[in-house]
Every structure is written in C-alpha cells, then in structure tokens.
Amino acid sequence: MIGDGALTGGMAFEALNHIGHEQKDLMVILNDNEMSIAPNVGAMHNYLSKIRSDRYYLRAKDEVEMLLKKIPAIGGKLAKTAERVKDSLKYMMVPGVLFEELGLTYLGPVDGHDMHKLIETFKQADNVRGPVFVHVLTTKGKGYKPAEADSYKWHGISPYKIESGQVLKSVGNPMYTDVFAKTLIELGEQDKRLVAVTPAMPSGSGLIPFSERFPDRMIDVGIAEQHAATMCAALAMEGMKPVFAVYSTFMQRAYDQIVHDICRHNANVMFAIDRAGFVGADGETHQGVFDVAFMRHIPNMVMMMPKDENELRHMMKTALEYNDGPIAYRYPRVNGLGVTLDETLIPIPIGKWETVREGEGYAVLAAGPMVQVALEAAEILKREGVQLRVINARFFKPLDHEMLLELANSHTNMIVLEEASEAGSLGSAILEFYAENRIFDTRVSLMGVPDRFIEHGSVKEQREETGLTAEAVCTEMKQFMSNHPYGIGKTGFSS
C-alpha cells in the first residue's frame, strides 16, 4: 500500500520498475486522497488527477478495450499496423497507461469508501496473473465534516471541540518555526538570491508566508528529499542562496545527496533543520535526534543550534552571509522562551561558544533547549554552594577549540548535555578533540539520547524518560563531583 504523495518518491519508482520486471503475483494498492502533509504537487499528481476526474476518459475505458479485442491478429505489415493502432488508442483513452507500460495491470479508479465495490475489485485483482495496480480513491477525514472540508489543516491537529471542529488554541510564546518563517522573509527582502526548497512540507516548515511574499522563490518538490538536496546543490553552484527547509527525520533520506552533491562540492547550501530533538506529538518516527551524528562527520559541514529564538535569527543571518560551503542550523519543535527579538541581525563568529553563566571547577556544555535545562540545574546547585558554569555550545562543528583548551587547562570537570543521539554526538566530538590533542586528565560525562528509539509522548515525558532534566543534571553532577572532586587529578575520561 502506498499513498499518492509517496508515489513521487524515487524509491517508489525503483519498486515499480522491479515489480514490472519480475512479473510476480503482487498487488499494489494506491490510496489516492490528493494529500500528504500538504497538497501534492508535480506531474504524477497531475496525471492521477486526470484519471480521477475525467469522466469521459473513464467511460471510454471499457469501450476501447472491447474495440482492441476485435482487431484480428494477422501476419505481416497489417499486424504491425494493428498493434500500433492498439497502442495509440490505449495511450489516448485507457487510464493507468503509465502503470500498464511498467508491466502492471491497472484496475480503477475505485471508490475506497464503497466497501462492496472495493472488495469486488480486490477479488478481481486476485484473479489476475502477474502484478496488479489498484487505484483507490479516498477522502481524507471521511465522516467528519470539518476534516473533509480542510484536509490541509487536519493532517496534524491540536486539541479541538469535536462538535464544531474549533481548535483550542493555547496561549504561549511563538514556536521556533514561526520565528524562522518571519526571519526568512526579512532575509529574503535583503538578498534576492535567497530561495526556499522543501520536500512537501511548506506549512509544517513555516514556508507558506514566504511563498506568498516570494512566489517565484519557493520550490516544493513533493516527497522527494533526495531531489530537493541535489536541486539545492545546483542552485548554490549557480550563485543562488538555497535554504533546504526540512524536518530532521526526513533529512535522513537525503544523506547520500548531502555527502556527494552538497558537501563533496562544498556547495553553499543552508539547511533549516526543523523538529530537531524530541518532537512530542509528531510521534516516534519523527524524533529528530540523529542528524548531528550523521552530519557532523561530513567534511565541509558547519552545524549550529540556538539557545533561544532570538539566537536562531542571528544564526540565520550567519548562514546567509557564510560563503564557504554548506551550513546548517537546527531548531526544536517547541515554543520559544519569549525573549525579545533583536531587530538588527548580526552574524555569529563561526565555531564560537558563549558562557551564559560563570562558575568554577564544574561546567555543563549544553546545546539548544538544553541550555535552559542547564541553567535551571545551576540555580538548584547554587543553593548547595556549587557555582556551576553553563556554556552555550551552539556549534556542533566546528568546535570552540580555544574554550575547550581553556576548560582543560583550568581542570574543569564537565557534562555535555544535548537532546541528540549520544553516539556520534557533540559530546563524542569533544572526547575526540581531547584524544586527538592527547589531553587525558580532563573529565567529560555525556548526557544525551541513549542508544534506543524513543516512543511517542510529550516532550516533557521524553526528556524525563531519557534523563534530560534539570534534576537529572543535578544528580549526575553530584555523582560526578563525588568521583572527581575539583582539583584532584585522575587520568582518563568518564562517559
């Protein structure tokens, strides 16, 4: 089974190509509701729309097939002419000819909400030798009028009144995605080279306002992350400033293109990585905890994450003015802290961290939302006489070598706190740096996402489950302090 949005992906055509070649008894069911995360785009969508909506086109199917059967199979030139006539009529009139040419028998389209007709079609498909393609039409949100009327909004919905469909809007600070959307328009006004590219998530990535302001500078390629990445590389090589707006979990699909098409060519592509870290209601499959691990090791890549929504704006300006290769800024699926947003945007020096709270002997190096968690832990420990230093380790790559050497020279014991996979993490990068520089008396403890998939739940629940809370930081620090008191040397790492 496959949705019509997913049918635009290259992997779907790889499968159809293989299925048509093998000619095994296999049923492919297309659930066609004209929607994925956003309204579908592209030639495949237009092709399916033609099959779906042209009544004359559908009515002619049976008549043409009957006509084709009446053409006699005779030898010589006449037979070849008859075959060409068959093909011409088929191409003009029979729906699903693309799938037929790939070697699948096309059945449909059929109403997916008519159970009798649906079962009848499946029985018919079961009797056909070889692969069959069943085109099923459904309505997204069927049976609930508000959802039927606005399938775009109801793809992912907040709490609502079931009687009316009215969304219960929560009062709070703007989400990082909203701040990204506003800032992207500001930067688009400043630089006409800026163009946004997204793989079928214009709304979720906050690009609708940008597309309305700059309709010629927003490209939705459909569910095709690999194509989106390579297109960004091509745009960058032609002097544009492409922003690849994508969820962290979906960017995994474009790993090969990020390596070979973007980073190998040092293309000046900006990655706007939304849903970085835990995603709460988006579910287990969308956890954005792996992108640091699979991107920071690629040559030429720069990666950063803001401590708050105002720093995100400055990072976006940093990325726009950076001209030396690919650069990524990642941000979470949470509300911002409500800080004041600077009107003037100033680029941040590449690879430079900042101390947001002074301390001595012990430090937490935190990234993104974990900076706030570290500050909360520092406030708790202050009541117990511990002056914890908190560092906003906003660059995953390059690291702030100067600050890391300063921490080592001052014999500071440290925890690296991040909402990302501990394997391949910022913490791992710091351990690698100390090992490479043969610094063996600096103690580093890692607090990240453990080596397992994190299940569905709220962000608060997910942080509690993985021990990424202020209380957990205090517990870890106290244990760390008892094992490695400040000023007493002991060779080796703690992790």
Fold match between 176-330 and 354-483? Answer: yes
Catalytic residue among 225, 309, 311, 422: 225
Please report which confidence band the pLDDT of residue 30 belongs to, taking 50, 70 and 90 as the band edges.
very high
What's phi and psi for 3, nearest 5 deg? -85, 160
Q: Are 39 and 204 in contact (CB under 8 A)?
A: no
Per annotation, catalytic residue among 86, 90, 140, 182 = 140
- Type of residue at 258: I
Instruction: Check if the beta carbon of residue 273 is closer than 8 Å to that of residue 332.
Output: no
Instruction: Note if 253 is an active site residue.
Output: yes
Q: Select the more confidently predicted residue: 169 or 128.
A: 128
Fold assignment, 176-330 = Rossmann fold (3.40.50)
pTM of the model: 0.81
Residue that the structure tokens 């469909």 belong to: 165
Q: For residue range 192-222, what is the model confidence (pLDDT) as tens digits?
A: 999 999 998 898 899 999 999 999 999 998 8
Amino acid sitting at position 193: R
| Nearest-angstrom CA–CA distance, 472 and 302 | 30
* DSSP collapsed to 3 states, 38-88: CECCCHHHHHHHHHHHCHHHHHHHHHHHHHHHHCCCCCHHHHHHHHHHHHH
Rounded distance between C-alpha atoms, residue 280 and residue 398, angstroms: 29
pLDDT on residue 67: 59
Confidence (pLDDT) at 49: 59
List the domain boundaries for the chain: 2-137, 176-330, 354-483
Spacing of C-alpha 449 from chain mean position: 18
**C-alpha to C-alpha distances, 14 to 7, 19, 62, 229, nearest whole angstrom:** 11, 9, 30, 19
**Fold exhibited by the domain 354-483:** Rossmann fold (3.40.50)
Q: Which of 217, 241, 253, 389 is catalytic?
A: 253
Alpha-carbon distance of 319 to 243, in angstroms, equals 9
Proportion of the chain above pLDDT 70, given as a percent: 85
Cα distance between residue 419 and residue 183, in whole Å: 24
Q: How does pLDDT run across 255-306, given as a tens digit for each residue?
A: 999 999 999 999 999 999 999 999 988 888 899 999 999 999 999 999 999 9
What does the pLDDT read at residue 100?
83
Q: Which of 165-169, 356-360, 461-465 has the lowest mean pLDDT?
A: 165-169
Say yes or no to pLDDT of 65 above 80: no
Q: State yes or no: pLDDT of 92 exceeds 80.
A: no
Is residue 349 over pLDDT 90?
A: yes
Cα separation, 124 vs 137, in Å, equals: 17
Active site residue 140: yes
Active site residue 24: no
